[in-house]
Amino acid sequence: MRSKVLKSCLAFAIALAASLGPVEFAHAQAAKGPSGLPLPRFVTLKSKRVNLRIGPGTDYAVSWMYLKSGLPVEIIQEYDNWRRIRDADGTEGWVNQSLLSGQRAAIAAPWMKTKGKGVFVNLRREAQPSASIIAKLEPGVMLTIGECNGDWCRAETDGATGWVAQSEIWGAYPGEAFK
């Protein structure tokens, strides 16, 4: 009985935190979680099979299973060894921190997937809008990111390496710079 009450209280707390999500995002990179790392932040899935759970623990049901390592996700909350994540489609749930990696990746303009054919994200030779185009990426293509300068990210996909506008990817915040 006690475990049911605790799970109900935890579920209520999680629902309350979820309703505060937009407020939390407004403080992007300003807040720190219990780990001492910024919230929210982008990471990648370390394992090829990752269970997304409805709560922070193995007693909670699996709502989704990811089958691709290296997929970028956003950590939006921390609880003990569990991280509440959000993927590029907006799906949220809990994952054990051991299944996450600090490596960075991104998805090319996932919000443009439904715009039809002929819509691309340009991978450029240099970090400037006038630089030559190395590749035209379809929305939804996964990229490995090496660094971002706040406007551009150095990215690689299928052997092509170049620069992509930071505003055209999901996996780095606007204005975020890192190496």
State the Cα–Cα distance between residues 24 and 77, nearest whole angstrom. Answer: 9
* pLDDT attached to residue 132: 98
Q: Is the pLDDT of residue 130 over 50?
A: yes
85 lies in some domain: yes
Q: How confident is the model at residue 56 (pLDDT cuts 50, 70, 90)?
A: very high
Q: Each residue of 12-55: pLDDT tens digit?
A: 344 434 444 433 333 345 699 999 999 999 999 999 999 999 99
Strands of 92-96's sheet, edge to edge? 62-66, 50-53, 92-96, 82-86, 72-79, 41-45, 100-101
10 lies in some domain: no
22 lies in some domain: no
93 lies in some domain: yes
Domain edge (last residue) among 72, 103, 134: 103
Query: Mean per-residue pLDDT for 51-69?
Result: 98
**One-letter amino acid of 89:** D
Q: Which residues lie closer than 8 Å to 128 by C-beta, 6 or more apart?
A: 152, 163
Nearest 5 degrees, angle CA 96-CA 15-CA 43? Answer: 35
**91 and 140 both lie in a single domain:** no
Query: Mean per-residue pLDDT for 79-83?
Result: 97
Q: Containing domain of residue 54, as a range?
A: 41-103
Query: Mean per-residue pLDDT for 50-73?
Result: 98
**pTM value?**
0.81
**87 and 114 both lie in a single domain:** no
**113 and 172 both lie in a single domain:** yes
The CATH number of whichever domain residue 122 belongs to comes to: 2.30.30.40
Number of domains in the chain: 2
Distance (Å) of CA 5 to CA 1, 2, 56, 136, 151: 6, 5, 15, 53, 48
* pLDDT attached to residue 28: 46
* pLDDT attached to residue 114: 86
Percent of the chain with pLDDT over 90: 79
